[in-house]
Amino acid sequence: MNALAASLQAYFTTFAHTQRDLSANTITSYRDTWRLLLKHLTATLGVPADALDFDAITATNVAGFLDHLEHERGNSARTRNARLTAIRSVLARALPDHPEHAATITQVLAIPPKRTTRAVIEFLTTDEVDTLLAAPDATNWTGRRDHALLALTVQTGLRISEICSLTVDDVHLGAGPHVACTGKGRRQRVTPLTRAAVAIMTTYLAERINRPGTALFCGPHGQPLSRDALEHRLAKHLITATTTCPSLAGKHVTMHTLRHTAAMNLLAAGVDVSVIALWLGHADTHSTDAYLHADMAIKQAAIDRTRPPDVRPGTYQPEPDILAWLTAL
């Protein structure tokens, strides 16, 4: 086993779990990045993956891999930067143990992330939400499960990973109904439920109790639904909803779009941005500011308060001669 293989094993078996205590999603993302990198180097250098060592992880080769992600795999600049973070994380941990490769590793660590542009977020209107929620087939349990899943997501704005990890014990329908979850950054939060959501979840849980497992939204054998499964179910219902609501065809709708929709509904109701940040589990309000940019109603209200260009500034003073003023009308 060469130095690179030993460092990768040490990072993913010991360091990531015991010292950094990284989340399962982060470890999976870092692992996939290194799998893609090693496969790319094997194809471009003609060297078997087991023979690749730190001397192959040069700044030139890593930059070529990042360009491959962006131009050939069609990844966004954000994904490119996330892959670079995964590479740098492993190399930064390996640097003190392998000073003989310090020059090569330091050059890779110096690769800067690519500047990105933040697109205006996409969300659903009230009519689009109603059409989507009506799309699942209510005559079978799968359709009723999907209806409850989509309704809960639109109302709470939970992330897809948070929806997947919910159990039946996380939903509380008594006094002060709410759903509890552990979100990004291991931040625990409680999100209140509306009366409509409580009614939907009450009906769903009464039927869910007859199925195995503890996952709130489960598959046929009680196992929790995966991220891919949730996106697949959403895509299926979007096809049905688009037939009666054509505006959905022009939007790229994912489970995260439903999270954006929940935030925009709160903003339209006059909820303060800082409260929305707490609702969504954001570490600060910078991420929540994107919803202000997407809300045209707020921008329209702002322009309505501005002075038209042909109006002279100052406090209105009536004309001293009322007869002359009336004549000039």
**CATH number, residue 277:** 1.10.443.10
Does 236 lie in the same domain as 142? yes
Secondary structure element (H or E) that encloses residue 205, with its range = helix 195-208
The domain tally of the chain equals: 2
Enumerate residue ranges in the chain where pLDDT < 70: 287, 289, 291-309, 311-320, 325
Is-catalytic flag, 251?
Answer: no
Per-residue pLDDT at 12: 92
Q: What are phi and psi of 192, to 5 degrees?
A: -70, 155
Residue 119 covered by a domain: no
Per-residue pLDDT at 267: 86
Residue 120 covered by a domain: no
End position of a domain, from candidates 109, 142, 165 = 109
Is-catalytic flag, 307?
Answer: no
Q: E-assigned strands of 116-156?
A: none
Residue 326 covered by a domain: no
Is-catalytic flag, 184?
Answer: yes
End position of a domain, from candidates 82, 109, 136 = 109
Does 132 lie in the same domain as 15? no
Residue 296's domain spans which residues?
126-302
- Would you state the structure tokens that stand for residue 63, as one six-digit string? 């930059």
Is-catalytic flag, 88?
Answer: no
Distance CA 199, CA 17 (A): 40
Secondary structure element (H or E) that encloses residue 178, with its range = strand 178-182
Active-site annotation holder among 159, 208, 233, 260: 159
Does 151 lie in the same domain as 45? no
Per-residue pLDDT at 254: 92
Active-site annotation holder among 31, 93, 184, 189: 184
Active-site annotation holder among 291, 293, 299, 305: 291
Distance CA 256, CA 247 (A): 18
Per-residue pLDDT at 57: 94
Q: How many CB atoms lie within 10 A of CB 295?
A: 17
Distance CA 147, CA 133 (A): 6
Distance CA 255, CA 249 (A): 16
Residue 53 covered by a domain: yes
pLDDT digits (tens, 9 = 90+) for 34-83: 999 999 999 999 999 989 999 999 999 999 999 999 999 999 998 999 99
Per-residue pLDDT at 269: 85
Beta strands across the sheet bearing 188-192? 171-172, 178-182, 188-192
Among residues 256, 217, 223, which one has the least CA distance to residue 136?
A: 217
Residue 25 covered by a domain: yes
